[in-house]
Amino acid sequence: AQSVTQLDSHVSVSEGTPVLLRCNYSSSYSPSLFWYVQHPNKGLQLLLKYTSAATLVKGINGFEAEFKKSETSFHLTKPSAHMSDAAEYFCVVSGFSGGYNKLIFGAGTRLAVHP
Amino acid sequence: DAGVIQSPRHEVTEMGQEVTLRCKPISGHNSLFWYRQTMMRGLELLIYFNNNVPIDDSGMPEDRFSAKMPNASFSTLKIQPSEPRDSAVYFCASSFSTTTGNEQFFGPGTRLTVL
């Protein structure tokens, strides 16, 4: 079975400093992995996805994530935080269950950005 | 494309009333999902349709909940009778198949409050 664990429920950074949101996954086969972002009172928006191509994936708004099979990790990073990055971030793995590929969501990490 | 469209955006109702949530998926997508998001339980998949046919309704909490997809461009989620514990944000998402690696596109959600 597939699962995903987001290691921090809350992360707080200062504007202009790096962002690191940590995610570990469990999968019995080569997974597809995603990061979604949810701004307050909004729907979820795809930031980036990994589907067994390049292990370093670049997404929107300067975010990127690196797939590390040996560590079963897919951490999300950004070199310099902006106030508009404050949101909730979900790490997601695509898992085959019940006859189809469903998205399995982590519990989320709330990112706060301070001036 | 307008993205996934949901209506209403906010719904306040009294316990015992019928509630109907509506969703228009992205044109050309053949997979549609209904999710519920609460602070306590995070994001939960309620039901999945493929080509307008319900494939997985194992997440539907109880018989008070029902969902339909009469055609490729419209789906409803109905709660009858509603209860205060149904208060949550309900998201509709669509995708072009559930092949691994295919992301889901989320609507803005309907915030339901049952008094």
Task: Judge whether B75 and B48 are in contact, CB under 8 Å.
Answer: no
Q: Which of A102, A10, A33 is nearest to B32 (CA)?
A: A102
DSSP symbol at B86: G
**Residue A96 confidence (pLDDT) above 90:** no
Under the banding of pLDDT at 50, 70 and 90, the label for residue A8 is very high
**Residue A98 confidence (pLDDT) above 90:** no
> CA of A92: which chain B residue's CA is closest?
B103
Q: Which two tokens stand for residue B56?
A: 């997985």
> CB B90: neighbour CB atoms within 10 A?
22
Q: Consecutive sets of 10 residues in chain B, 115 residues long: mean pLDDT of each? A: 91 97 96 95 94 94 94 97 97 85 91 97
Tell me the average pLDDT across A23-41. Answer: 90
**% of chain A with per-residue pLDDT over 70:** 100
> CB B84: neighbour CB atoms within 10 A?
10
Contacts of B11 (CB under 8 A, 6+ apart): B19, B21, B110, B111, B112, B113
- What pLDDT, on the 0 to 100 scale, is given for residue B100? 65
Task: Judge whether B57 and B49 are in contact, CB under 8 Å.
Answer: no
Q: Which two tokens stand for residue A70?
A: 């040996």
Calpha distance B81→A110 (Å, rounded): 34
Determine how β-strand A23-26 pairs with β-strand B10-13.
unpaired
Strand blocks (E) in A15-86 = 19-21, 23-26, 32-38, 44-50, 56-58, 64-68, 73-78
The interface residues of chain A toward chain B in range 8-47, judged by CB-CB distance below 8 A, are 31-32, 34, 36, 41-46
Contact B106 A45 (CB under 8 A): yes
Contact B103 A44 (CB under 8 A): no
A chain contacts of residue B50, beta-carbon cutoff 8 Å: 100
DSSP symbol at B104: P
Residue A12 or B40, more confident: A12
